[in-house]
Amino acid sequence: MKSTKLQDAINEQIKNELYSGYLYLSMSAYFEASNLPGLAHWMRQQAEEEQEHALKLFDFLNQRGGRVELQAINQPPVEFDGPTAVFAMTLEHEKKVTALINNLYEIAVAEKDYPAQVMLHWFIEEQVEEEAHATEILETIKMLGETGQALVMMDRQLGQRE
């Protein structure tokens, strides 16, 4: 890898992806404690996906002869104010990740790193999906409410995510 600026930014993004996984795992634990196993399962799947994203960046750096430097990950929140708050936080977090990915892409363009640009296209498309999923679930919870049979049904539906 020629550019240390891009390498440093990718290392930072590896940390951010690992934090995302940590955040979603914390949300999963919250839902487990709240007796919402389907929402817990959905968040756990989300956490695993974020780990995969981190490893994709990790592997890319290694394949390009770069140096992976793992960084400390902050502790995520432990308590949340219900499903609506969790998915509102999820959407805001995904918007933040989108901005970080866009910034990485801008660095790759400025550095004329074409392989990085190609790899980052995948992340850009992935973020469109991530924001859409979080928005859809958030809006559904807002319509249904956080209590009663509708939430139980939604919990069961989200528990079927593979």
Whether the pLDDT of residue 1 is over 80: the answer is no
Alpha-carbon Rg for the chain, nearest whole angstrom, is 17
- Domains identified in the chain and CATH numbers: 4-158 (1.20.1260.10)
Distance CA 124, CA 55 (A): 16
Instruction: Give the tens place of pLDDT for each residue, 70-109.
Output: 999 999 999 999 999 999 999 999 999 999 999 999 999 9
Q: Provide long-range contacts, Cβ within 8 A and 24+ apart, for 28-35.
A: 29/78, 30/78, 30/79, 30/80, 30/86, 31/83, 31/86
Average pLDDT, the chain: 96
- Report residue 146's pLDDT band, with 50, 70 and 90 as the boundaries: confident
Instruction: Give the tens place of pLDDT for each residue, 119-143.
Output: 999 999 999 999 999 999 999 999 9
Look at residue 147 in the predicted model and tell me its pLDDT: 78
